Amino acid sequence: MWGILKEVKCRLCEKHYKSKNQTAPDSVESVGHIQCYCPALERPRIAIHHGIWRELMFSIRKSSTELNEKKEPKWCFPSALSPEAHEEWGMTKILEFMGLHEVLPLGQGANREKLKKDVRDYHTAHGIEISESDIHTFLARRPDRLAFDKENKLCVFLEFTRAMDTDEDWAIRKEGEKNGRYGTHLGFFNYLCRREKKGWKVSQTNFTVGVRGSLHTNQFLDRLELLGVKNKNTREVIRKQTVQKTLSMSDMILKFFFAAPGRKNQQPHSL
């Protein structure tokens, strides 16, 4: 099923850029391009990302049975409850939850100014130039999901990626890219936690699955366990489900590609 496609300029790209009066870059029509990069397939790709992640997150939430000392569930996943909750849990809401920022009613924007100043100062202290719109972008970021352990004051940004599993290093490379995305946020949050003596620790955990269904098995299972999925068999079931779901979703992207107009009757070299 997964062969090498003939290396030609991507027809969907040509059409996509033409409609914007731009020249298409020399994208080749490879599996990686179709699965991960082709701008013409961005919408189905986003839908697929959400589809796999929603199912994985549902399983984690349902199976996270570890209890804390008060015999309550150790982990909570507030932004996983609904699309609305996910919308709501941006950077300011996370800071508010940890007692690092007070969200005031509309019109009383002074605390927002204070937060912006903190963001600016933190970047300046680290030799990073930051404009007003960069600050806005920084605060508008939203992790895929969040996990909190209130007793131990742990906040974990959860990120999910479906990546092209071309070579042996793909998972390590993707891990680096993902961590880079929130590196400054984690630094900033942990700096505020120390400064305000709130005792929270903020970190990031990634779940990465290759489009061909490969994943770093031990790491994947360990991360499920870290989030309170104590039952070994359940972890294994979640892993298998995620791989299956990813494979069927990757297959769906290919179907989108071949069904898209503008491809004439061209057949791939091998598939």
13 makes contact with Zn ion (CB under 5 A): yes
Q: Near Zn ion by CB under 5 A, which window of 11-19, 100-108, 142-150, 157-165? A: 11-19
* Minimum distance from residue 4 beta carbon to Zn ion (Å): 16
Of 8-16, 43-51, 57-65, 79-87, the segment contacting Zn ion by CB under 5 A is: 8-16
Which is closer to Zn ion, CB of 35 or CB of 204?
35
The CA R_g of the chain, rounded to the nearest whole Å, is: 21
- Only one of the segments 3-11, 84-92, 191-199, 231-239 lies at the binding site for Zn ion (rule: CB under 5 A); that segment is 3-11
31 binds Zn ion (CB under 5 A): no
* Total residues belonging to the chain: 271
DSSP letter string, 177-234: HHHHHHHHHHHHHHHHHHHTT---EEEEEEEEEETTS---HHHHHHHHHHTT---HHH
Rank residues 10 and 119 by Cβ distance to Zn ion and give the closer one.
10
Per DSSP bridges, beta strands 154-163 and 145-149 are antiparallel
CB atoms within 10 A of CB 148: 20
10/155 with CB nearer Zn ion: 10
Dist CA 8 CA 219 (whole Å): 37
95 binds Zn ion (CB under 5 A): no
- 154: alpha, beta or left, given left = phi > 0 and alpha = psi -120 to 50? beta
Q: Is 10 in the site for Zn ion (CB under 5 A)?
A: yes
Q: Which is closer to Zn ion, CB of 114 or CB of 269? A: 269
Contacting Zn ion (CB under 5 A), which of 5, 31, 38, 254? 38
> What is the DSSP track for 42-95?
HHHHHHHHHHHHHHHHHHHHHH---B-TTSSBS-B-GGGS-HHHHHH-SHHHHH
Task: With contacts defined by CB under 5 A, name the span among 37-45, 133-141, 183-191, 234-242 that binds Zn ion.
Answer: 37-45
Binding span for Zn ion by CB under 5 A among 9-17, 124-132, 149-157, 182-190: 9-17
Nearer to Zn ion by Cβ, of 17 and 97: the residue is 17
If the CB atoms of residues 131 and 265 are measured against Zn ion, the closer one turns out to be 265
Closest by CA position to 13, among listed 27, 31, 32, 30: 27
Query: Rule CB under 5 A: which residues touch Zn ion?
Result: 10, 12-13, 27, 38
